[in-house]
Structure 1
């Protein structure tokens, strides 16, 4: 008689190993599931934190803007009110002519503030046309020539060749006017205001420079912020509006300045705006 004895220890070992592997796999899956929940909750919490920080920053910025606007509007209104009251009491006094002039000046200042606000907040489509850059610069210089002469500021314009652009002429003219006015204000005791432009491939570069007092280091990082200004009667919208208009033309604007060494503003943009 032949007796066969089957040993199951190898099969048992295989089963135990499979069970162990299954247990490890389930443990890993469970750990992964728990970890994913932790990561998800952390991400949600972090997103809420970032949103709250952004909200707080927006509220703080809104508060700064509101305070600046209130200040900029209250001062001219106070002057207008005071001068009007003087004129009301003495309507025939010859000195009231000067008070009336101040009323007009402060009213124009308010009008300029509102115009800049509307331009900065507006989303009107650009109206691209073909125009000569040299002609636009000449028109801009003509607007500030009298003021420059009174301050003893010399104006130089340098170009390598005539340049034709396609873009919104009116808005780009507003950029140039803002920049040359800033340059004049930086040189109350006289100096040199330079405007230069040149082409490079499909782009044009424009540099507006002055020999004024320059920009303090602590202010350089904020000069493009809306309503940030170091001027007694500035709105803080000039450079912010310039950047908005240049970016609408797919260009860039940079300011290089050091205290006491003047300022250079570099604009680089396509000669032909994409429509």
Structure 2
């Protein structure tokens, strides 16, 4: 009862600790997870705002570029107008338009590459294009825009111009801004896995917090993009003049690990509880075993002294001319007591298993037991013809058979039939002890092998417990109730492993 109470106490305490641990951990995990979600949300909002800023900046640069294009076209028209103006026409507006240009570098040349005018180009650069050949080489290498100017009839000159110095500086700033922007995306402080693609969402421009080993695996990256898109909508960004890109991201590794942490925690708590229970159970069984062993050793010791005396008394009786049959029967009982002493002395020690003829061992016991039971008890034996040899401890095994037979006699109230049969299977030897007694109800079947359970007024409830321990612990077999039909038959089965054949 105390053991059952202790087990339930341990179980309830484990459940309470488990629930409290999970509850408190869940609160902490939810707070950490919320912080992680807030970080990702702040990061995503910051990226969105900066993407908007970059887009505005890009739009502004596009306007500047369009404005410079317009100025260059106006200068081309001014050159053309100056050339076609009559002597009385006022061309000061056109000359001022050309002279006020302080930012757009341009070159005016004919179709053969002869330069007639330049503006906003330094002297060192002009020396590199001072011949038509050098000039045409520069046109092929550099990003010049050209506007043809019709001077008269079929004669054309050409206005070559590049982006202004101011625009070049602004473009460099824009490029630095874009590089910085993308770096901030992929090297985020929130440890968020990120992939930046172009407008097709196929070509990867940058990535962050992703194992570089997988970057070369296109299937993995496309699967990652699809997974990220299912978690969060991609952020649309501007990545240059008239170019767009997308930022794909997912929750951080910390947040993902936090999601599986409760499962890991549950497994650890279950492992801890199981180990604690097994250790407690082992300690309890060890203590119980020590009690069994101590009782058995003490019983064997107590029986040893009177046995020696009884053996001496038989010698005295034999010398007194007492009926020899009486002395023989007394010697049989003394031998039986000696066997019982041997049984108790072997409990707790490693039993010496020997190959024995199982039919012979059982028959020898039945021969002795029949003479000490009622004549109304019939014994039936159903054994195979060939001898069955298995490894047993003869003294302990006889004890088990004796216990089962005595219980059968008690169950039949001194009248009935006991049948002992042996069945040989492929791997086991099955020994059935059947009686025609009152049977064992289903409730009792669950408790019959537990220490202290008995239906007798003066019983200790140890017989079947010891019998099962002998078969299970010393012979690596099993003892169980096969079937029980009240007042018809009750069968207890011993199952032992067959002796391995020597190769």
Partner of 2:380: 156
Q: Aligned equivalents of 2:421 and 2:277: distance in 1?
A: 45
Q: Aligned equivalents of 2:343 and 2:373: distance in 1?
A: 26
SS of the aligned residue for 1:183 comes to helix
Partner of 2:490: 263
Q: Aligned equivalents of 2:270 and 2:429: distance in 1?
A: 47
1:267 Cα offset (Å):
1.3
Greater shift, 213-222 or 22-31, is seen at: 22-31
Q: Aligned equivalents of 2:391 and 2:191: distance in 1?
A: 71
TM (normalized to structure 2)?
0.38
- 1:18 aligned to 2:186? yes
Conservation of the 8 A alpha-carbon contact between 2:378 and 2:417: yes
Greater shift, 188-197 or 226-235, is seen at: 226-235
Q: Aligned equivalents of 1:27 and 1:195: distance in 2?
A: 71
Partner of 2:358: 133
1:234 Cα offset (Å):
1.9
Q: Aligned equivalents of 2:258 and 2:343: distance in 1?
A: 52
Conservation of the 8 A alpha-carbon contact between 1:209 and 1:263: yes
SS of the aligned residue for 2:374 comes to helix
Conservation of the 8 A alpha-carbon contact between 1:119 and 1:241: no
- 1:245 aligned to 2:470? yes
SS of the aligned residue for 1:214 comes to coil
Equivalence map 1:109-120=2 (5 Å):
none
Conservation of the 8 A alpha-carbon contact between 1:128 and 1:273: no
SS of the aligned residue for 1:253 comes to strand
- 1:195 aligned to 2:420? yes
The 1:189/1:117 distance shift into structure 2, 3 A limit, reads closer
Partner of 2:44: none
The 1:159/1:228 distance shift into structure 2, 3 A limit, reads same
SS of the aligned residue for 1:160 comes to coil
- 1:208 aligned to 2:433? yes
Conservation of the 8 A alpha-carbon contact between 2:343 and 2:396: no
Q: Aligned equivalents of 1:259 and 1:116: distance in 2?
A: 36
1:133 Cα offset (Å):
1.5
SS of the aligned residue for 1:24 comes to coil
The 1:201/1:53 distance shift into structure 2, 3 A limit, reads closer
Conservation of the 8 A alpha-carbon contact between 2:342 and 2:395: no
The 1:39/1:221 distance shift into structure 2, 3 A limit, reads same
Conservation of the 8 A alpha-carbon contact between 2:478 and 2:496: yes
Q: Aligned equivalents of 2:391 and 2:263: distance in 1?
A: 55
Conservation of the 8 A alpha-carbon contact between 1:155 and 1:192: yes
Equivalence map 1:82-101=2 (5 Å):
none
**Which digits, 9 at most, give the CA deviation of each residue in 1:136-169, with x for residues without a partner?**
111221232134334x121100112222222211
**Which digits, 9 at most, give the CA deviation of each residue in 1:104-141, with x for residues without a partner?**
xxxxxxx9xx9799679x42111122322122111221
The 1:30/1:116 distance shift into structure 2, 3 A limit, reads farther
- 1:232 aligned to 2:457? yes
Unaligned runs of 5+ in 1: 70-110
Conservation of the 8 A alpha-carbon contact between 2:428 and 2:495: yes
Greater relative contact order structure (CA < 8 Å, 6+ sep): 1
Equivalence map 1:23-34=2 (5 Å):
23-24=191-192, 27-29=252-254, 32=257
SS of the aligned residue for 2:373 comes to helix
Aligned residues: 223
Conservation of the 8 A alpha-carbon contact between 2:449 and 2:468: yes
Conservation of the 8 A alpha-carbon contact between 2:374 and 2:414: no
Greater shift, 29-38 or 232-241, is seen at: 29-38
SS of the aligned residue for 2:492 comes to strand
Cα RMSD between the aligned structures?
4.0
Partner of 1:84: none
Q: Aligned equivalents of 2:253 and 2:342: distance in 1?
A: 61
**Higher Cα Rg, which structure:** 2
**Which digits, 9 at most, give the CA deviation of each residue in 1:25-45, with x for residues without a partner?**
695326636964895488459
The 1:189/1:165 distance shift into structure 2, 3 A limit, reads same
Q: Aligned equivalents of 1:200 and 1:52: distance in 2?
A: 37
